[in-house]
Amino acid sequence: MLTKDYLGILTPKEVEDLRSKRSGNWIHPVVSLALDSTRGVVAANTERAGRIVLQANEAWLNSLRQRLLETSDLTNASSALGEIRAYGSLLETGMVVKPAPAVSGKPVSPEFEVQAGDGPVIVEVHSKQMHPAERKKLDDQHKRLQAKVAQAIESGEKSGERKNEVVADAAEIQPLGAADPNKAGDSDVANGISRVAGIKDKEKQIDHQKPFVLWLDMQDPAVWGLPLAQEQLLPIYSLGTDGHVGAGILWHALYGRKGEPYISMQGFDFKAIPMLHEGRFYQTMKAHGGPTRISAIVISLPETVALMEHPEPIMRLPSKFRQALTRITAFRLEYSHCDWMKGRVKSDIAANRRKTQATIKALLRSNPP
C-alpha cells in the first residue's frame, strides 16, 4: 500500500481507487507500477523520472493527472507514463526542455523542444501499444478463464463437494501483431518490423526548421510482458540456448532494406527471409511523398536507451544534443548508432549490413543436407 503520493501528484486513495476499477483482464498502468510487488525496473525508471520532473516542472506533471487517472481507455495513462519517463530522461542530461512547443502552421504540438546550446531539437514521444487484435486475444482468453471458473463453482455446488480446483487457459501474444497466414512471406518478425517502421508515419509534429527526434517508449509491462530485449537493437544476435540466432526487429525496422534477407531459425535450421518493406529511414512517406524527416529515433527500453540516427538525415542533430543524450542513466553507446562525424552512421550501417549478410550465408551453409 502506498504511504505517500505516487509521482508526487496522485494520492494513495486515488491509486487504490484505480485498483478497484480494474476492467476485465487489464490492470491499470499506474496500479501495475505503483502497487504490484513485481514492479521492477520500469517502476524504478518511472519514479526516478517523476521525481526529476516534479522538481523541474510540477505544473506540467499535474497537467497529466486526468490522463493518469483515465479508466475507460488505459492507453491514455500508458502514454502519459511514457511521456514522464522521456521528460525525466531529457532533464537529467542538463539540457533545457520546453514542453508543447508551437510549430508554425501546425494545429498539433510535439511533446518537447530541447536545447543543448547549439540549436533546438523537436522531440515527439510515442508509447507503443499492443496491437488491437492481440489485445482482443487476451480479452477472449480472460472470458474463457472466467467461464471455466464459473463452471467449476457450479459443478462443486451441484455435487456438494468442497475441494480446491485449478483452472487454466493460455493465449500466445505478439504485442506488435501476429503474422497473417494468408500473406506470402509474412512472419511475426516481418510483422513487427513493419509495425515499428510505420510509427508516426504521418509525421504531423515535424517542424521543418528543426531536427526531429521520435522517442519510442517501449516499457509498459502490460504491452510487452517480459521486457523487450536489447538484442532487438542489433541486425543479428545469438543466444546461448540451443544456439539460437535471431534478427533484431528494431534494427531492421529502421535500417533494413526491402529484399535483403534477415536470419530466421526453424528448429535447428537457418533460413534467410527477404525484407518485405523498407526500413523507416529509407522509406518514401505516403503522407507527404518525400523521405522521412525524422533525424533520429531514440528507443527507450527498461534497461537500455539507444540513439539510432538517420544515415542521411534531412536535418542532422546538433553535436551538443547528441553528446548530452549519453548522460541519460540507461544510455548505451554499444547499442546506438551516433553520427559523431558526418557520414559515420552511413558507413557503420553499411558495414553492419555486409557483416550480417556474410554471417547469414555462412550459417545457411551449416544447415544439414
pLDDT for residue 142 is more than 60 = no
Would residue 112 count as lying in a domain? no
pLDDT for 324 equals 98
Q: Please state the pTM of the whole predicted model.
A: 0.87
Would residue 256 count as lying in a domain? yes
Cα–Cα distance for residue pair 226/85, rounded to 1 Å: 19
Segment among 55-59, 285-289, 316-320, 342-346 with least mean pLDDT: 285-289
Same domain for 273 and 156? no
Q: Give the cell for residue 344.
A: 559515420
Same domain for 217 and 160? no
Q: What confidence category does residue 59 fall into, taking pLDDT thresholds of 50, 70 and 90?
A: very high
Would residue 194 count as lying in a domain? yes
Would residue 44 count as lying in a domain? yes
pLDDT for 345 equals 98
Same domain for 201 and 330? yes
pLDDT for residue 175 is more than 70 = no
Q: Which of 61, 84, 107 finishes a domain?
A: 84
Same domain for 55 and 154? no
pLDDT for residue 8 is more than 90 = yes
Same domain for 218 and 165? no
Same domain for 207 and 311? yes
Would residue 280 count as lying in a domain? yes
Same domain for 274 and 161? no
Same domain for 161 and 63? no
Same domain for 151 and 253? no
* Residue position matching grid coordinates 515535424: 206
pLDDT for residue 136 is more than 90 = no
pLDDT for 369 equals 79
pLDDT for residue 174 is more than 80 = no
The 3 state secondary structure assigned to 185-235 is CCCHHHHHHHHHHCCCCCCCCCCCCCCEEEEEECCCHHHHCCCCCHHHHCC
pLDDT for 170 equals 56
Q: What confidence category does residue 182 fall into, taking pLDDT thresholds of 50, 70 and 90?
A: low
Burial 210-226 (b: 16+ CB within 10 A, else e): bbbbbbbbbbbbbbbee
Same domain for 225 and 359? yes
The mean per-residue pLDDT over the stretch 133-139 comes to 52
pLDDT for 181 equals 59
| Helix or strand run (H / E) with residue 56 | helix 40-56
DSSP string, 61-114: HHTTHHHHT--S-HHHHHHHHHHHHHHHHHHTTT-EEEES---TT-SS--SEEE
Would residue 126 count as lying in a domain? no
What percent of the chain is modeled with pLDDT above 70? 80
How many Cβ atoms from other residues are within 10 Å of residue 285's Cβ? 16
Q: Which of 84, 117, 143 finishes a domain?
A: 84
pLDDT for residue 285 is more than 90 = yes
Q: Give the cell for residue 94.
A: 542538463
pLDDT for 145 equals 52
Query: What is the residue range of 15's domain?
Result: 1-84
Across all residues in the chain, what is the average pLDDT?
Answer: 87
Same domain for 192 and 333? yes
Same domain for 240 and 346? yes
Would residue 203 count as lying in a domain? yes
Question: How many structural domains is the chain composed of?
Answer: 3
pLDDT for residue 137 is more than 60 = no
Would residue 100 count as lying in a domain? no
Segment among 5-19, 167-181, 208-222, 253-267 with least mean pLDDT: 167-181
Q: Which of 84, 111, 143 finishes a domain?
A: 84
